[in-house]
Structure 1
Amino acid sequence: MKRIILPLFFILAFYGESLFVNFTPHVLFGEERHIIPHFILVLLMMTGIYYFRNQALLYALLFGLLFDVYYTGTIGIYLCLYPIAVYLTTKMIRILHVNILTTTIVITLHLAIVELLVYAFAVLVLRVSMPPAEFASLRLWPTLICNAILCLIIYFPFSRWLQSSQKEKLAE
């Protein structure tokens, strides 16, 4: 039973992203602003920090592929970026003191890198014509703020649950 709790969290976060977009009123942030919730990526990075990195990387591959299939028409961009973001997060956090502030900053930094790489891919390959300043003000900053708030909200319950699950698994 305990083995399905973590994948269940990921599945709920995966579907929670689309529910957030559908049910959040646009007047709250402005009609022209686009908030892209990366709930699953935040959970994956926290799993890499507070649980087993290799397991987080496997889940990142799986949910990166699911994200590509479900949300985008181009398979491969999130399949590559999710594991890279999780890996870089776990490497960076090892040289820092782990607490709520550093975890939120590191996760937000890697979310920004993922968003910038997706934007670069869209501009170069898909020929999307959105100026960088417009991308930053209408998509990047609202996305980073929303996901940083999510990270702050779930930090204590999720990190403590991951740490206790890790201790139980190591004790087995």
Structure 2
Amino acid sequence: MKKFLLPLLFLFLFILDSLYVQYVPTDLFGHNKIVAPHFLFAGLLLLTIFVSRKQGIIYAAVFGLLFDVVYIEIIGIYLFLFPFIAYLVSKILNILQTNALIAVLVSVLGIALLEIGVYEMDYLIHVTDLDFKSFIQLRFYPTLILNALFVIIAGYPLKRLFEKHIEAMRAE
């Protein structure tokens, strides 16, 4: 049963992203603000930080593909960006000491890189015509605030869950 705990957790976070978009009012952050929840990606980054680079990248690739198939018209954007940013986060943590503050900051940095990467790809292939300044004001800042709050609130419980997962892996 413990083997299925992590995939179920990430499946729940995947569904939570969709539920947030459907049921939370769009004017929560103000009129004309676009908020994109990245709870799944935040969980994947925390997995990369607290468990291992290998597991983080594997889960990021699997759920990146799932994200592309379910939500995006173009397969490959999240399939590439999720594992790539997870890898970058793991490299950043080779330099920095891992603690709660660093985990939050690096996770928010990863989410920022994801948002900018997706925007640039959408702008490049003409999916959006929003200029960069408008993107920063209308989507980037509200998205970072929401996801930073999620990482702060869910970071400690996820860390505890991941520690139990590591102990279970060692016991096997």
Shift of 1:26: 2.0
Shift of 1:127: 4.8
Alignment partners' CA distance in 1, 2:65 and 2:161: 26
Alignment partners' CA distance in 1, 2:68 and 2:147: 19
For 2:169, the equivalent position in structure 1 comes to: 169
Contact 1:64 1:79 in 2 (8 A): yes
Q: What's the TM-score once normalised by structure 2's chain length?
A: 0.95
For 2:17, the equivalent position in structure 1 comes to: 17
For 1:96, the equivalent position in structure 2 comes to: 96
Shift of 1:91: 1.4
Q: Percent identity?
A: 38
Q: What's the TM-score once normalised by structure 1's chain length?
A: 0.95
Q: How does 1:9-88 map to 2 (within 5 A)?
A: 9-88=9-88
Mark the CA change 1:127 to 1:42 in structure 2 (over 3 Å): closer, same or farther. Answer: closer
For 1:111, the equivalent position in structure 2 comes to: 111
Contact 2:45 2:110 in 1 (8 A): no
Contact 1:52 1:166 in 2 (8 A): no
Alignment partners' CA distance in 2, 1:74 and 1:127: 10
Structure 1: give runs of 5+ residues left out of the alignment: none
Number of corresponding residues: 172
Query: Which portions of structure 1, spanning 4 or more consecutive aligned residues, are displaced by more than 3 angstroms?
Result: none
Alignment partners' CA distance in 2, 1:149 and 1:94: 25
Alignment partners' CA distance in 1, 2:128 and 2:155: 35
Compute the RMSD of aligned alpha carbons. 1.1
* SS, match of residue 95 in structure 2: coil
Q: How does 1:122-141 map to 2 (within 5 A)?
A: 122-141=122-141
